A = this chain, B = another copy of it.
Amino acid sequence: VTTIDVAEVEAVNSEFYAAFESTDYDLMGALWVDGALARSAACVHPGWAMLHGRQAIMRSWAVIFANTTYIQFVLTDVTTEVSGSVAVVTCVENILTSMSGESGEDPSGPGALGGGRVAATNVFRRTDTGWRMWLHHGSPVLETSDDDEPPEEHP
């Protein structure tokens, strides 16, 4: 494990969220494993069942992007672990999103905004063409506390 690996993985992780923010289907597709690994790719969007295989996953991004007018991610608590050809990134996705179905009304910014917090596990595989996303698992954080642990954990 080198610091170069960690930097490369974190760069691809950042690209993943940039692709989501720009709803760029082609960039998103380029970030995911393909070829022999395509079948074993897996993805859980918050509240969804797990999708298996590159084809189902890319269909889900098409649906999500078609229904996204504005979304912005601020990542916190990013951790990166590399073991051989596998890297695991965990982070908190702090999400700001447009609540209305209309876009472009106000060029200075989105209208009604919503937000939320998602706990994310992103697993990458080292391939001939660089690190590629192999698994994405995002889940809604329903706690209201800012702490990482439930209140009873803090005496």
Contacts and interface: CB of A to CB of B under 8 A. Distances in A.
Interface residues of A, number: 45
A26 interface: no
Given A47-B143, A85-B83, A143-B48, A59 B153 contact: yes
A49 B84 contact: no
Nearest to A85: B83
A91 to B, nearest CB: 8
Nearest to A147: B49
A152 B67 CA distance: 12
**Which 7 pairs across A and B sit closest by C-beta, in order of nearness?**
A139-B139, A84-B84, A47-B142, A86-B86, A50-B119, A121-B137, A44-B119
Contacts of A92: 49-50
Interface string A40-62: 10101011111110001001100
A140 B48 CA distance: 8
A138 B42 CA distance: 14
Interface string A90-112: 10100000000000000000000
Contacts of A71: none
A55 to B, nearest CB: 10
Interface in A25-81: 40, 42, 44, 46-52, 56, 59-60, 63, 77, 79, 81
